[in-house]
Amino acid sequence: MVTQANDAAPHEFNPWLHVSSLIENAGHLLGLDQGMIKRIITPERVLEVAVPVRMDSGEVEMYTGWRIQHDTSRGPGKGGIRFHPSVNADEIAALSADMSIKCAVVNIPYGGAKGGVRVDPTLLSRGELERLTRRYAFSIAPMIGPDRDIPAPDINTDFQVMSWIMDTVSMLRGQNTPGVVTGKPLSIGGTLGHAGATSLGVTICTVALLHGLGRDIANERVVIQGYGKVGAPLVKLLSERGMKVVGIADIRGAIHVPGGIDHEVLSRHFRESGSVVGYPGSDTVPAHDLFTIPSDIAIPAALGGVITADIASSMAATIMVEAANGPTTGEGAAVLASRNVPVVPDVLANAGGVVASYFEWAQDLQGFMWEPELFTQRLEKTMHEAFNHIWQRHLDLKVNLRETAIAVGVERIAEATTLRGLFP
């Protein structure tokens, strides 16, 4: 059940209450009436499912999963599925609301949704993972579909998990339904360009912010938290544009390389060792000290809620770009604002992934594969237009980029909601 305001434990970060407050503040900034604000905040559908799985030992383990559709006024729901031991209803609800805002910010015809299962997939065999995925897909199947809600990969899920979900839904409906998920392999309806799209969007926003602030891109020092599907490509993309990645962290620790990290050497080292720690010529630092490394740009690209007030207070960088979903707590955001640290929020910075998903979905519906050059051209155009619009509204509204982006998303959702009216 999604937490209500009076249910939250004091001093405990609750992502749902945090996102709800951001939407409410945006509504007040825009002058929306309270009824509209409540409609935008409240999730449309919350499904909690039991996920029984027969393990390789023959025993049955029980897991819990969710699929939440926050808002579909602008189009079918869109949002990833994550498998993680910390997953809960409040987290999924917050992420679904983030997706509603994100899709509206980049102005694609989607609403917001999110799903997940509370499980540690590293403890499962491949067979157990497949059985868990298919049972979960079976349970949420009534909610999803190309014209209803389109899942995608997220933390600890990938193209194989999406393939199993697509196959399960296709078997249930007796027809091939490639458009039910995005992030699939090319051979079953995926698209060229999806891999790395989130990282490209983050890069575009980073460069655009530097231009907007009148800062020189060359030799800007960057620290990145996370070396996964988003963080790893960022090292290459930012380095190619003249920036220096001087610090990076993964689950085993963090490294500092004042002269800049070579993305090819790091990639090879990571493949051989399984961690960024031990990169040749690096200094190992505690992971929690990553953001204290002398730097100009901080990019959290791991889990949510990591930029707390303490981290924000000690952060060396003078700008931040949120590659992860919900990486900054309310208190952390307040500290960064008080320090006048510009932040490109997640609903804009990491929207490249959902834009790529939109393109894949469109190609599935068309039955026609785009050329890679067309895909990249349209992705860059969409991200540039979104950033430029947010930047101009930021100057007009005279509020920070996070408040501006949330306001733009809420404004577009409110417009769609108003035009559609209230049934019955």
Residues belonging to the active site: 114
Cα angle at 226 between 105 and 198, to 5 degrees? 30
Kindly report the number of other CB atoms within 10 A of residue 379's CB atom. Answer: 21
Which residues, including other chains, have CB under 8 Å from residue 170's CB and lie 6 or more apart? Answer: 176, 177, 180
- Give CA–CA dist 56/127, Å, rounded: 8
Identify the DSSP state of 354. Answer: H
Q: Are the CB atoms for 350 and 198 separated by under 8 Å?
A: yes
Which residues, including other chains, have CB under 8 Å from residue 122's CB and lie 6 or more apart? Answer: 156
Which residues, including other chains, have CB under 8 Å from residue 367's CB and lie 6 or more apart? Answer: none
Q: What is the identity of the amino acid at 422?
A: L
Q: How many CA atoms lie within 13 A of 380 on its CB side?
A: 10
- Give CA–CA dist 322/315, Å, rounded: 14
Question: For residue 169, what are its two tokens?
Answer: 């839904």
Q: What is the identity of the amino acid at 364?
A: D
